[in-house]
Amino acid sequence: MSNSKPSRSFGRKTGTVTVLETQVHNSSARKAKLAYILTAVAVTLLYGVIFNHRWSTPIAALLAGVFFGAVAGLPVYGIVRIWPVIIRIWWWLPEMLIVGSIGCLWTLLIDNTPQQVAAVVVTAVALICGFIPPVRRTLVAVYRCFEVRHRLRTCFTAFIITNRSGSLPLILWAKPTPVGERVWLYLRPGLSLADIQGRLDKIATTCWAKSVTAEAGSSNSAYIVVDVRRREALNVTVASPLPDMVTVPDSPEGIESLPPAPVGAAPSLNLGDIPTQKPATDTKSAKPSRPSPKTNPGPVAGAGGEDVSDWI
């Protein structure tokens, strides 16, 4: 009889939250160790040479170099080790800056003004942002830039092929355009422009856009420019004041007495009524005709009366 309790594999709560994937975690740990070793060795050799020149004691110089190398490798190890966390902070950095700025402004407003004044200021700002079209369109465009960065990251995580280290394209920045948004990407080693161009239809669906184009930057093929088009600017009817600025001239005199234009079949054209004219010849540009060669020049006699026609 077994006393083992049945395991609850389905719906079991472990109480842990996965922040980094296992592949990314192992890759960052391996890179951090390698960066620490390389930095420590380089600094050890450098300080060993410097202290050996000053002290003229190789062992003491080597020990001092090992100490400084071990100390110098620690910050490098820490930066490489937490690099995946830094990347995730970069993903949400604009939102965190905006939230922090709003919190600071709200604190300053509450500390320096009465509550009634603060309420009026907040209401006025909300009305301006919601009911003034230029301000509202600007805020929506900025929000779309924040949104498209996260949607592109979702696309890269879902179906863009990564390199062997599991690194995705790095999203640098985004700005609004008249038809949508423009995003700059940086491709890691192992990725290419074809990996993104082959999935533009899926990216457009994820970004809720009409179409998406991607092209390499002018200076480096690792930098990619992605244009997200949500609307067509050329299809919009624009009211132009130019027709009202054009003045129509008055009709010429006697135009009312002209016969009306014929309606129906076109009248037949008699080519015999057109007088024939000989083309004028330019005597200066005309070239004289060369005389035609003789067909039978006859025999040609050489020295001594011999016929040499066959030799000419």
DSSP state of 262: P
Q: Which residue has the tokens 């002018």?
A: 218
- The pLDDT value recorded for residue 240 is 76
Q: Is 298 exposed, middle or buried (0-12, 13-18, 19+ CB in 10 A)?
A: exposed
Residue 192 has a CB neighbour count (10 Å cut-off) of 14
pLDDT digits (tens, 9 = 90+) for 219-270: 788 899 999 999 877 666 767 777 777 765 665 565 556 566 665 555 565 6
Domain boundaries of the chain, sorted by first residue: 22-90, 92-131, 144-233
Candidates 183, 231, 185; CA nearest to 211 is: 231
Do the Cβ atoms of 154 and 206 come closer than 8 Å?
A: yes
CA-based nearest residue to 43, from 19, 21, 24, 71? 71
Q: What angle do CA 113, 117, 121 make, to 5 degrees?
A: 110
**Residue type at 275?**
P
pLDDT at 16: 45
Can you list the residues of the chain whose pLDDT is less than 70? 1-26, 161-166, 234-236, 238, 247-312
Distances (CA, A) of 35 to 29, 45, 74, 189, 311: 10, 16, 10, 18, 92
What's the token pair of residue 190? 């192992």
Closest CA to 69 of 96, 47, 102, 99: 47
> Which residue, among 167, 171, 217, has the nearest Cα to 190 in the 3D structure?
167
**Which CATH number is associated with domain 144-233?**
3.30.980.40
For tokens 């465009």, name the residue.
141
Rounded CA-CA distance 70/28 in Å is: 19
Type of residue found at 88: R
For residue 116, give both structure tokens: 């009634």
**Contact of 190 with 163, CB cutoff 8 Å:** yes
Three-state secondary-structure class, residue 155 = helix
Return the structure tokens found at 39. 């930095």
| pLDDT tens digits, one per residue of 75-89 | 999 998 888 888 888
Per-residue pLDDT at 3: 47
Whole-prediction pTM: 0.58
Element (H, E) at 201: helix 200-206
